[in-house]
């Protein structure tokens, strides 16, 4: 059996679900446009530059979840899926995922974006396993804080290994391990698998991938 891991934003998606969720809430009037739009873009630029403070970002990203009951958040998310996510899922991304599922590989989406935003997206792809940043919950409501290790940079390796251990598995149990990603922020996990694959890579990852002879593909 092979282990196949997929990054989500700008890899399986032709866009960023984190960024689009905040933009969706702004467009719905849930978040105040002037301040939130500027901060959302600022965090996005920091991420691309490799300078993101993940805890500062999560304070920003998770705070709105704590302000509303789950039923309201779920209703907004259904709209979000239709308006923002389905248009940025490419046919090639769907084919790639389904091919690996049909071949019997153990597949997971591994993403820094929180599981409230990404769990319905994973289901849309038909992927049963999601390794994501987990928002803290108390009495059925989100607290606005993160639970455990954020699934970001080295944290992606930690969280994947925790997920594997929970299933009684280890890296060596697989004949091959693959990880598809677009971002230099994912180098720790790309370097951990036996077959790293750069997907529409950012300039830094593209340079690394080419120098190391990694596969570089597009899912357009």
List residues with catalytic annotation.
7, 9
Tell which residue, 41, 21, 44, 16, has the closest CA to residue 31.
21
Six token digits for residue 156: 């992606």
Helix (H) or strand (E) holding 39: helix 33-49
> Which residues, at least 6 apart from 136, have a Cβ–Cβ distance to it below 8 Å?
142, 143, 144, 145, 146, 147
Locate the DSSP E strands across the chain: 2-6, 106-114, 129-138, 141-147, 176-181, 195-199, 215-217
Tell which residue, 39, 47, 52, 38, has the closest CA to residue 10.
47
**8 Å CB contact between 3 and 94:** no
């Amino acid at each position: 059996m092979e282990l196949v891991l997929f990054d989500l934003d700008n890899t399986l998606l032709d866009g960023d679900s984190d960024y689009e969720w905040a933009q969706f809430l702004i467009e719905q009037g849930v978040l105040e446009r002037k301040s939130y739009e500027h901060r959302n873009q600022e965090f996005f630029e920091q991420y691309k530059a490799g300078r993101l403070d993940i805890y500062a970002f999560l304070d920003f990203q998770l705070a709105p979840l704590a302000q509303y009951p789950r039923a309201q958040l779920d209703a907004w998310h259904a709209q979000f899926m239709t308006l923002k996510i389905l248009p940025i899922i490419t046919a090639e991304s769907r084919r790639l995922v389904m091919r690996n599922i049909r071949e019997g590989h153990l597949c997971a989406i591994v993403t820094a974006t929180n599981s409230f935003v990404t769990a319905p997206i994973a289901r849309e792809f038909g992927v049963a396993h999601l390794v994501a940043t987990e928002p803290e919950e108390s009495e059925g409501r989100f607290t606005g804080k993160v639970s455990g290790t954020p699934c970001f940079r080295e944290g992606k390796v930690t969280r994947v290994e925790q997920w594997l251990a929970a299933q009684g598995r280890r890296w060596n149990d697989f004949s091959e391990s693959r990880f598809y990603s677009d971002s230099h922020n994912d180098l720790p996990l790309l370097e951990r698998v036996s077959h790293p694959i750069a997907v529409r890579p950012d300039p830094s990852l593209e340079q690394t991938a080419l120098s190391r002879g990694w596969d570089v593909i597009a899912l357009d």
